[in-house]
Amino acid sequence: MKKTIVTFSFLAFTTFTFLTSCKNNETKIEDAQENVLDAKKDLVEAKQDSLSDYESFKTKINEKIAANEVKITDLKIKAIDGSKAAKAKYNEAVVALEEKNIELKTKINTYSESSKEAWEVFKKDMNKTADDLEKEFDEFKSKNK
């Protein structure tokens, strides 16, 4: 008799646990829809963060490009005031620096979205290119004082 009561109790407990733990299909669908909405929300937030990062980086690079354009204008003015040999040297430097500055401007304006890893590589490359160009300006300026 004790054995039957223990067996029946165990069976009742197992059945109750099974029935209360199972979700119906409607609940499963609602949970899946919530998960999809959460994933979409996360994706939208990630894209907004990415766009914000791109815009701030683009602004920073455009400031460097504008500063380079001022330096190029200064070099053009110095070329006008110099001797014939100095004019040739300045004009040659101006053309080379102008081309690199235009290339930098084109790269930042034509960038299209890609993976996070590609974005990091792009930023690193753009920073290096901008820094190298700035060094070229400084080197030219220090050689031709």
Looking at residue 13, its pLDDT comes to 62
Looking at residue 128, its pLDDT comes to 92
The CA-atom distances, in angstroms, between 26 and each of 15, 23, 34, 52 are 21, 8, 12, 39
Looking at residue 49, its pLDDT comes to 64
Yes or no: say if 96 and 78 are a contact pair by the CB < 8 Å rule.
Answer: no
Yes or no: say if 97 and 136 are a contact pair by the CB < 8 Å rule.
Answer: yes
Q: What tokens were used for 125?
A: 């490359």
**84-134 pLDDT, tens digit each:** 777 788 788 888 889 999 999 998 888 877 777 888 888 899 999 999 988
Q: What tokens were used for 94?
A: 């101006």
Average pLDDT in the chain: 78
Yes or no: say if 91 and 79 are a contact pair by the CB < 8 Å rule.
Answer: yes
Surface-to-core class of residue 75, CB atoms within 10 Å of its CB (0-12 exposed, 13-18 middle, 19+ buried)? buried
Find the helix packing angle between 84-110 and 116-143, rounded to 10°. Answer: 170
CA pair distance 44, 23, nearest whole angstrom: 30
